[in-house]
A = this chain, B = another copy of it.
Amino acid sequence: MNDRLGDDPELDEEARAPGARTIRDVARLAGVSIGTASKALNANGRLSAKTRAKVLKVAEELDYRPNNLAQSLHRARSMTVGILSNDNYGRFTFPIVAALERRLFDSGIAVFMCNATDDPARERRHIDQLLRKRVDGLIVTARRADRREPIEPAARGLPVVYVFARVDNPDALCLLPDDEGGARLAVEHLARLGRKRIAHITGPEHFEAVRLREKGFRAALASAGLAAPPGACRSGRWSEEWGREAVRDLFARPAAAPDALFCGNDQIARGALDALNEIGLSVPGDVAVVGFDNWEVMTSGARPPLTSVDMNLDALGTAAGDALLQMMAGSKLCGVSRLPCSLVVRASCGAIL
């Protein structure tokens, strides 16, 4: 038996076909059958240590990589999942997807990225493609806006996790941030710092997140024994401009002016900060401000740096990965699960720093 593979003319011959190494090559060069090679590579059957080592050595020298296509075909598990996204901006989706991909990759699963920007036909074609590729599961993400339709029944039997997306089907598993709890966190913090007249400037009411955050806002006020005067909650757009407008309006009569603002997102908060500045009010001296999203580019560019609620999107992504793995292993999971937010304290709320 020739152990010096480096001198084996057969090896040189093989070296010319890169990337196309098969288990046949390994078996032939190791002088064993294909089945034996497979067993050695997978630490599977009963083989002598010598044979096993020989096969592994040859595989290493050939830089052999098993063909996942053939493996998947045989095992009826592709070790891939599809991520269906509808976020054309990517700001929320990206951290989720990144964490998800990391979690799944650590379990040996690769993800197909599919972007179907609110085009139902395109989404159907994507799902069709994923089914042809025999993905083992599906993740569906959306912008927070929409309570979307469940995906096609064709996917029945396939594990599906909706993350940062909500469907009405009670059999579906939806993972979402706890908007209400996040709002409560912010308002409780402000109340604890002694603020008495807390207002809420937020986005369009048709967002469920807006309604939930308002709910949390009111709940926290109530449990802090504070009143929510009429007009203390303003919903508008998600923009800085709206933040500025709302502040100008809220502070038009100084007597009734708030001493704290909880904003529905960091852009609104940023606009609010700018407007307060212009009015001549100091932050956090006269008014404390808390945002939502903890979007670094907004919070750190703001003056003073913005305290903000973090939705822990990466934890959400990791949780979605965990859930999908469980479902792929046979568990039936369903219902709406909301993961906690956290408060990232910076200077704008007037906490001791």
A72 within 8 A of B: yes
Q: Is the CB of A68 within 8 A of B301?
A: no
Is A38 on the interface with B (CB-CB < 8 A)?
Answer: no
A78 to chain B, nearest CB (A): 6
Q: Give this chain's copy count.
A: 2
Query: For the complex, what is the distance from the CA of A63 to the CA of B156, rounded to whole Å?
Result: 13
Residues in B with CB closer than 8 Å to A102 are 115
A88 within 8 A of B: yes
Nearest CB of B to A71, in Å: 8
On whether the beta carbons of A68 and B113 are closer than 8 Å, the reply is no
A97 and B90 CA atoms in complex are apart in Å by 11
Q: Is the CB of A113 within 8 A of B128?
A: no
A240 B110 Cβ-Cβ under 8 A: no
User: A19 contacts B113, CB within 8 Å?
Assistant: no
Q: Which residues of chain B are near A129, meaning CB under 8 Å? A: 105, 108, 110
> Cα distance A280–B262 when bound, in Å?
30
Cβ of A67 < 8 Å from any Cβ of B? yes
Which residues of chain B have C-beta atoms less than 8 A from A108's C-beta?
129
Tell me which of A95, A117, A240 has the highest count of chain B C-beta atoms within 10 A of its own C-beta: A240
Task: Decide: B301 and A134 in contact? CB cutoff 8 A.
Answer: no
Most buried by B among A128, A130, A134: A134
Q: Which of B63, B110, B115 contacts A112 (CB 8 A)?
A: B110
Task: Write the chain B residue with the least CB distance to A117.
Answer: B98
Q: Does A333 contact B (CB under 8 A)?
A: no
**In the complex, what residue of chain B is closest to A90 when comparing beta carbons?**
B94
Top 10 closest pairs, chain A to chain B, by CB: A90-B94, A113-B113, A240-B301, A68-B132, A18-B157, A69-B73, A68-B133, A65-B132, A110-B112, A69-B72
New contact pairs (5) apart from A18-B156, A90-B98, A94-B94, CB-CB < 8 Å: A89-B94, A90-B94, A267-B297, A274-B303, A297-B298
A-B contact pairs, 30 of them (CB 8 A): A18-B156, A19-B131, A19-B157, A19-B158, A65-B132, A66-B132, A68-B132, A68-B134, A69-B78, A69-B133, A69-B134, A80-B112, A80-B133, A88-B98, A90-B94, A90-B98, A94-B94, A97-B113, A101-B115, A105-B129, A108-B129, A110-B112, A110-B130, A112-B112, A239-B300, A239-B301, A240-B300, A240-B301, A241-B301, A274-B274
